[in-house]
């Protein structure tokens, strides 16, 4: 296990919480069990009205865990920006209250980004866990791209926000679009990829919990609306990268998914 030293940078873990009482213990525990221990956990409570705060209070004796509560409910990516502003690490990661990290996630990413200084953001593969199953399924079987990968990402987006480690300095020139509720990380990473190089670690370093309350499932109409709006706003640039068809086909599949949801 890594011991905290002055030359080991602080990593800020941003956890946005809205009524996360069901899974938040597992998420916090997966941060506390990290082999890399020089972290702070910024828990930004987006005006929850469940028992999340009571659970979080069990952990705040650890001074690395810092709790903040919004005065009103914000859109998710507005809340993410505010949480980032409350952090102080050289690197920033994101973990939502229903997801989990593998114990050496931060350690491996810090090592990789230190050895490959051309990258401003590192991401990895991850596991999918169906809510009522103990089995883990690897999300991507093919190699993850790295470098200047805008075209790759527009063709087949593979960057899960739960796997990101990003240099703090990026937020000096780029923030999440606060008007988004679902696709803000996609918009952010695509924008960053046009300016900076992105690195990848092929092994899964996190676990995404797939359940009926995932925002993209609960708010599929909003999901479709945001994707449609993003395509319209970026259509000129998409033609440059020759992937307009791919995204329009993805939007079509979302609409089919919505149809099946409401007709079964």
Total number of residues shown for the chain? 264
Q: Which residues of 54-85 are buried (b: 16+ CB within 10 A; e: fewer)?
A: ebbeebeeeebbbbeebeeebbbbbbbbbbbe
pLDDT of residue 151: 87
**183, 198, 213 — which closes off a domain?**
213
CA distance 134 to 142: 23
Region of poorest pLDDT, from 64-78, 101-115, 197-211, 233-247:
233-247
Q: Please state, in angstroms and rounded to a whole number, the distance separating the CA atoms of residues 13 and 168.
A: 12
Q: Is residue 6 part of a domain?
A: no
Number of domains in the chain: 2
- End-of-domain residue from the set 170, 189, 213: 213
Q: Residue 231: what pLDDT?
A: 82
Residue 254 pLDDT grade (very low, low, confident, very high; cuts 50, 70, 90): low
**243 vs 152: CA distance, rounded Å:** 9
Question: Which residues partner with 42 through β-bridges?
Answer: 14, 66
Model pLDDT, residue 34:
98
**pTM of the predicted protein model:** 0.89
Q: What is the pLDDT of residue 134?
A: 81
* 75 contacts: CB under 8 Å, gap ≥ 6: 178, 179, 180, 181
Q: What is the mean pLDDT of residues 67-89?
A: 97
139-179 confidence digits (pLDDT tens):
999 999 999 999 899 888 999 999 999 999 999 999 999 99
Q: 141 lies in a domain? A: yes
Are 27 and 97 in contact by the 8 Å Cβ rule? The answer is yes
Banded pLDDT at 217 (limits 50, 70, 90):
confident
Higher pLDDT, 259 or 147: 147
What's the mean per-residue pLDDT of the chain? 89
pLDDT at 11 over 50: yes
Q: Which residue segment(s) compose the domain that 108 sits in? A: 11-213
CA distance 17 to 24: 8
Is the pLDDT confidence value at 4 over 70?
no
Write down which residue in 213, 234, 253 finishes a domain: 213
Distance from the Cα of residue 218 to its chain's centroid: 18
């Amino acid at each position: 296990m890594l011991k905290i030293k002055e030359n080991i940078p602080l990593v800020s873990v941003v956890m946005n919480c809205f009524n996360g009482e069901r899974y938040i213990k597992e998420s916090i525990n997966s941060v506390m069990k990290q082999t890399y221990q020089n972290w702070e956990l910024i828990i930004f409570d987006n005006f929850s009205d469940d028992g999340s705060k009571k659970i979080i209070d069990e952990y705040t004796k650890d001074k690395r865990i810092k709790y903040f509560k919004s005065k009103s409910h914000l859109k998710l990516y507005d809340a993410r920006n505010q949480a980032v502003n409350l952090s102080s690490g050289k690197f920033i990661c994101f973990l939502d209250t229903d997801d989990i990290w593998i114990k050496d996630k931060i350690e491996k990413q810090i090592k990789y980004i230190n050895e490959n200084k051309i990258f401003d953001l590192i991401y990895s593969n991850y596991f999918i866990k169906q809510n009522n199953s103990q089995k883990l399924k690897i999300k991507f079987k093919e190699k993850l791209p790295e470098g200047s990968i805008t075209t790759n990402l527009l063709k087949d987006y593979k960057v899960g926000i739960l796997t990101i480690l990003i240099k703090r300095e990026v937020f000096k020139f780029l923030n999440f679009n606060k008007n988004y509720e679902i696709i803000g990380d996609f918009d952010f990473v695509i924008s960053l990829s046009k300016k900076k190089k992105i690195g990848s670690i092929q092994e899964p370093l996190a676990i995404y919990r797939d359940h009926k309350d995932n925002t993209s499932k609960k708010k599929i109409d909003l999901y479709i609306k945001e994707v449609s709006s993003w395509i319209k706003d970026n259509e000129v640039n998409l033609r440059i990268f020759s992937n307009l068809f791919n995204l329009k086909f993805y939007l079509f599949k979302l609409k089919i998914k919505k149809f099946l949801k409401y007709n079964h």
